[in-house]
A and B are shown apart, each in its own frame.
Chain A
């Protein structure tokens, strides 16, 4: 009796094998890909029985059949393209998972940086890629990461030379165009920041039209001693999109990794961020805004591991759930034995704008050292009635007062965005989503 559903599930998964056999028939990576595929098929998509997936069901994703994304032209004129187009910097665009040189900056590299697309890297240095994959499989071993390792085709490798300070942001755009059939891509982003190097990375996931897409991206970042990486991640995919992201960061001595996670789009989004503070002095700042609306389901799980003593982290997440939207935030801080003098602060504040909206916010502290300073707080509430009254008592309409307070709430995350082009882009997105006030300022 209990065999039947398992067989059925396997039949769903078998579609991935068929697709794999069609697409990958030879090449130096075939064996590694096949191992990853087998690992994925053996485990299948995570289910809600898995504690990590308790609030997020992938059944809708699993039921769909996706083809692999194909390169396509982007017909939109420059001014109407959905990504940040001003603000300088170095831009690399991937369309439906494939590098689009015509839309990207010329491959003249900014000094101190080596940028290679994953496709090129595989072509020119397959052995290095194999070695990397073997290493990466220890770090990214979940079923969905294995799925990525089986199917990945393109992506980006960023290497910063020691002491290289890259002022202009490196901007990576993943865009989906309207496709006739639901399509998927499994891109990878690899960053190796040499000692005392620094850069700003902007990652944008956008779309033209409303394609049914499935993105399953893996990003692996290594920050050597004293390196600084500021990462802005804007997920603005189509309302019919499924977006799964994995970020794995290793932070060495005195290095700093900061991320702003703006998970705005997709019908279902799940981001896993894992930061390992590997050596003394390592620091990380995690900021995030999750505003599910309509029937969106937006989920971010973060895991900060304090492995070495004298490591510090701060985390500031905000959720704004509207309509029938559902948000999930799970922030785990794990302090390893011996990681004395750890300093970890986490705050998760969430706003419910409608009676049918939901938010599950859960901080988790697991501490195996005794001399540490850790704090966390999670709140869920509605717009502050007293603040609303205060604004209205000054002549501001109720609608405008609500908009002002919602923006003020989101501002706590936006305020720490240091790249003006990113902040302006986000302000426009949030104005479109929550409305802008009628009052002239």
Chain B
């Protein structure tokens, strides 16, 4: 589904990624861990099409296509979804409006009929229930005045409505209380299907108790320094990152 090969990324003068290779097959869940500033957000943002980063070498193919050649909106319509580490507040753009516009943009691209107001509301109500979100969030500006945890929930609500093929979750678990973590994990798990894949960036082993990963990677020194299974996360919890940095050096 997703093949990242030898990806080099630079922002201005700074080399952030220096040869990331990562292959994700349909149905898989991958966790990416790593020290602060190691480039985890950079990686997922580049996958989603964020401007301001220069890819100096390497390639990314998604479902057999050159992902980097697509505009961000084209990637979204092709089923790529990024849950932001820091969801953006957009006062004046209605939350429900954005959700519906996004859903219809994707449906239109797939050649499916757009949903009308009635169908949309039914769908969103169902997903909001899943996310245990109050319907009043729909009428507010996008993330406007949302608490940190509410913003994260809203990201997963969007994901649940848009049903992406490749979901990139950037620290969706950070800032969530214990109950919210369970709710968000539920939302993510409900998306799991053999034809979909999930890449989630996290700092905490705890999330992986709820969402069982197939693989755990450590991003350090600009590349994937180590790959393992769930037990790697447990080991990191105990030992920190220094030993990996030393191993990689």
- Seen from chain A, the residues whose Cβ lies within 8 Å of a Cβ on chain B are 384-387, 389-398, 400-401, 404-405, 407-412, 415, 437, 439-441
From B81, B87, B97, B98, residue with most partner A Cβ within 10 Å: B98
Contact partners of B50 in chain A: CB under 8 A: 389, 393
Q: Of the candidates B87, B90, B102, which one forms a contact with A395 in the assembled complex, judged by CB atoms under 8 Å apart?
A: B102
- The reply to whether A441 and B90 form a contact with Cβ atoms under 8 Å apart is no
Q: Which of A389, A396, A415 contacts B102 (CB 8 A)?
A: A396
CB < 8 Å A-B pair total: 88
Q: Convert B188-231 into 0s and 1s, putting 1 for each residue whose CB lies closer than 8 angstroms to a CB of A.
A: 00000000000000000000000000000000000000000000
CB pair A412–B84 under 8 Å, yes or no, is no
A410: chain B residues at CB < 8 Å are 92
Contact among A385, A390, A412, A439 with B104 in the assembled complex (CB-CB below 8 Å): A439
B142, closest chain A residue (CB): A390
Q: Given the known A-B contacts A389-B51, A390-B84, A391-B90, are A398 and B105 also in contact in the complex, defined by CB atoms under 8 Å?
A: no
Which residues of chain A come closer than 8 Å to B184, judged between CB atoms?
Answer: none
Q: Which of B71, B87, B109, B114 is within 8 Å of A392, CB to CB?
A: B71
B105 touches A439 (CB 8 A): yes
Q: Which residues of B contact A394 (CB under 8 A)?
A: 73, 76, 98, 101-102, 105, 158, 162
Is B100 engaged at the interface, CB distance under 8 Å to the other chain? yes
Cross-chain contact of A397 among B73, B91, B114 (Cβ < 8 A):
B73
With A394-B158, A412-B91 as contacts: A385 and B76 at CB distance below 8 Å = no
Closest to B79 in A: A395
In the complex, chain B residues whose CB is within 8 Å of the CB of A400: 101
Q: Is B31 part of the contact surface with A, judged by Cβ < 8 Å?
A: no
Which residues on A sit within 8 Å (CB–CB) of B49? 389, 392-393
Question: Are A385 and B73 neighbours in the complex by a CB distance under 8 Å?
Answer: no
Beyond the given pairs A395-B162, A398-B71, 15 more chain A to chain B contacts, judged by CB atoms under 8 angstroms and listed by A's residue number, are: A384-B88, A389-B48, A390-B87, A392-B49, A393-B49, A394-B76, A394-B101, A395-B73, A395-B105, A404-B93, A409-B92, A411-B92, A415-B92, A439-B104, A439-B105
A-binding residues in B (CB < 8 A): 48-52, 71-73, 75-77, 81-82, 84, 87-88, 90-93, 97-98, 100-102, 104-106, 109, 114, 141-142, 158, 162
User: How far apart are the CA atoms of A441 and B98 in the complex, in Å?
Assistant: 8
The distance in angstroms between the C-alpha atoms of A395 and B84, with both chains bound, is 15
Whether A405 pairs with B114 at a CB distance below 8 angstroms is no
Specify which chain B residues have a CB less than 8 angstroms from the CB of A396 in the assembled complex.
Answer: 73, 98, 101-102, 105
Inter-subunit contact B91/A408 (CB<8 Å)? yes
